Amino acid sequence: MAAIGLAIGAAASVALSQLLSTMLFGVRPTDLATYAAVLAAVALTTLAAAAAPAWRAGQIDPVEAMREE
């Protein structure tokens, strides 16, 4: 899901870069380093947001969880 969102977001940002070029200060609309940095930041944020609940869910004993239900 995150990869699909990153791909759609990257494609949309490239497509709309000329439209938004008046709002960019000190950055060219086609600056590859900026695109890479933003994609990496979003990907790391997504991984961090998914890792904490997954780790916590992995610590639960399935038998105990079934008994509580």
This prediction's pTM = 0.68
**Token duo for residue 65:** 């969880």
Residue 48: band (very low, low, confident or very high) from pLDDT cuts 50, 70, 90: very high
What is the maximum alpha-carbon separation in the chain? 60
Residue 49: band (very low, low, confident or very high) from pLDDT cuts 50, 70, 90: very high
| Contact between 64 and 23 (Cβ < 8 Å) | no
**Token duo for residue 27:** 């950055």
> Tens digit of pLDDT for each residue in 13-45?
888 887 877 777 777 877 888 889 999 999 999
| Contact between 39 and 3 (Cβ < 8 Å) | no
pLDDT exceeds cutoff 90 at 47: yes
**Using CA atoms, how far apart are residues 60 and 66, in angstroms rounded to an integer?**
10
| Contact between 30 and 17 (Cβ < 8 Å) | yes
When divided into structural domains, the chain yields a total of 1
Domain that holds residue 55: 2-68
